[in-house]
Amino acid sequence: MGKSQKAETMFMGASTKQGYNIASKSREIVRSLIADKIEGLSEDEKSIIERIVHSTADPEYASITKISDNFISESINAIKDEKDILTDINMVKAGINKYEGQIKCYISNEETIKLAKEEQITRAAAAIRIAHDNGFDGIIVIGNAPTALFEAINLVKNEGMEVRSIVGVPVGFVGAAESKEVLKGTEIPNIVTEGPKGGTPVAVAVTNSLIRLKNG
Amino acid sequence: MGKSQKAETMFMGASTKQGYNIASKSREIVRSLIADKIEGLSEDEKSIIERIVHSTADPEYASITKISDNFISESINAIKDEKDILTDINMVKAGINKYEGQIKCYISNEETIKLAKEEQITRAAAAIRIAHDNGFDGIIVIGNAPTALFEAINLVKNEGMEVRSIVGVPVGFVGAAESKEVLKGTEIPNIVTEGPKGGTPVAVAVTNSLIRLKNG
């Protein structure tokens, strides 16, 4: 199996020749749209941002996506070690593929629903706390809920939660921008999308890019 | 259980008091951003578009979302009858909730992978054909692949596929805009997002809105 065959089964989510042709044409268009905005970034950083723009058809992500210096290397190390990936919602979990380790999401667990009610917090935030209670160690991927991102930062800072990196791309007009600014100010290796935008396709694009980067 | 309690368990995906408060504040912001763009639409149409903008934090959807006259009524009838909902990818399926009927997605089926290879088409397109071969009758929700939307339209026109309505919001720079223009020109009750934008959160926002509208 030659190199081009391998590319066909891996490239930007495409798994057939037809899908590969579409993804390949899409990448050309994405590059023409955002090349000037991502000039000076590393090849790995560019590949992540290109995949976000490919997945959302929204070139604005080239301007608002910010990657901390150690994010890619720390994330790839965690993926090599097959550390857990924790997502805030099941939609994000459903989009991540070809990962050798475990992908976890506690939002529908009974413990989570109970904790949310008791502590008067969102289920998304409670789900992160339940993960910590269950000995989580790995990468956190937040594609939806700012409350989950705030809780993750809190648990890292105050309760020693073992977090290798955070994909922090919650979406919305209430708290999302603020939660991402707080994350940027921490020592946690991170990627964020500044402002209200973000969401499941962004979270999935970043995570699948990292898995692909690890595979080389 | 009073009316406000009911609202708490249903509103814009929120299932806790905290989630409800966030969703409620978000709706106020969304309305202030897009009110002028959705003036003159029905209350049901407005609620769908507000939920899309809430889910994506992207007010542009208020300008590019187009709903055919019979889309909402036909979709609600299909939901009342618990017809199947067919999604193009598993991410979209994972986001739809509180549906009494079945939600189907054939993209990972062995038959689909075989057919895609034989016919030299994408897996997303093959998955729609497999659904038709299995006697599908219901609502089709395309959140990702233009090739799946083209195939759905083809099967309705040429092979009598039983489709009550189509949520046609594929995303991307290759074929997505074109596939949505073709859908708009058909008799199939439909909602589209004009241009390259769309995606899983849009598809899920529309479908969950319809389920909520049916529940009243």
In order of start, what are the domains of chain B with their CATH numbers? 60-215 (3.40.50.10230)
Alpha-carbon distance of B30 to B10, in angstroms, equals: 18
Give the model's pLDDT for residue A11.
75
Q: Are B30 and B12 in contact (CB under 8 A)?
A: no
Q: The tokens of A31 are what?
A: 């590059």
Q: The tokens of B53 are what?
A: 């903008």
- Enter the ipTM: 0.93
Averaged pLDDT, A184-211: 98
**pLDDT tens per residue across span A31-85:** 999 999 999 999 999 999 999 999 999 999 999 999 999 999 999 999 999 999 9
Averaged pLDDT, B111-138: 97
Give the model's pLDDT for residue A2.
36
DSSP track, chain B: --HHHHHHHHGGG--SHHHHHHHHHHHHHHHHHHGGGSTTS-HHHHHHHHHHHHHH--TTHHHHEEE-TTHHHHHHHHHHTT-EEEESSHHHHHH--S-SS-EE--TT-HHHHHHHHHHT--HHHHHHHHHHHTT-EEEEEESS-HHHHHHHHHHHHHH--EEEEEEE---SSSSHHHHHHHHHTSSS-EEEE-SS---HHHHHHHHHHHHHHHH-
Q: Is the pLDDT of residue A3 over 70?
A: no
Instruction: Say which amino acid occupies B17.
Output: K
**pLDDT tens per residue across span A122-136:** 999 999 999 999 999
CB contact under 8 A, B54 and A93: no
Dihedral (CA of A205, A208, A214, A215) sign: negative
Alpha-carbon distance of B55 to A133, in angstroms, equals: 30
Q: Are A76 and A206 in contact (CB under 8 A)?
A: no
Give the model's pLDDT for residue A66.
98
Cβ-Cβ contacts under 8 Å for B4 (sequence gap 6 or more): none
Q: Are A83 and A137 in contact (CB under 8 A)?
A: yes
Cβ-Cβ contacts under 8 Å for B178 (sequence gap 6 or more): B146
Alpha-carbon distance of A20 to A201, in angstroms, equals: 19
Is residue B132 part of the annotated active site? The answer reads no
Q: Which of B140, B198, B212, B128 is nearest to B169 (CA)?
A: B198
Alpha-carbon distance of B137 to B162, in angstroms, equals: 5
**pLDDT tens per residue across span B153-179:** 999 999 999 999 999 999 999 999 999
B20, B26, B34, B54: the active-site residue: B54
Give the model's pLDDT for residue A18.
85
- Specify the DSSP class assigned to residue A63: H
CB contact under 8 A, B121 and A18: yes
**pLDDT tens per residue across span A80-122:** 999 999 999 999 999 999 999 999 999 999 999 999 999 999 9
Q: Is the pLDDT of residue B36 over 70?
A: yes
Share of chain A above pLDDT 90, in %: 88
Q: Is the pLDDT of residue B3 over 70?
A: no
Give the model's pLDDT for residue B10.
53
- Which residues from chain B sit within 8 angstroms of residue A149, using beta carbons? none
Judged by DSSP in three states, A139 sits in: strand
Residue that is written with structure tokens 């919602």 in the block = A89
Q: Residues in chain A whose beta carbon is closer than 8 A to a beta carbon of chain B? A: 15-19, 22, 25-26, 29-30, 54-58, 89-91, 93-95, 116-117, 120-124, 147, 171-176, 195-201, 204
- Residue bearing the bigger pLDDT, A129 or B17: A129
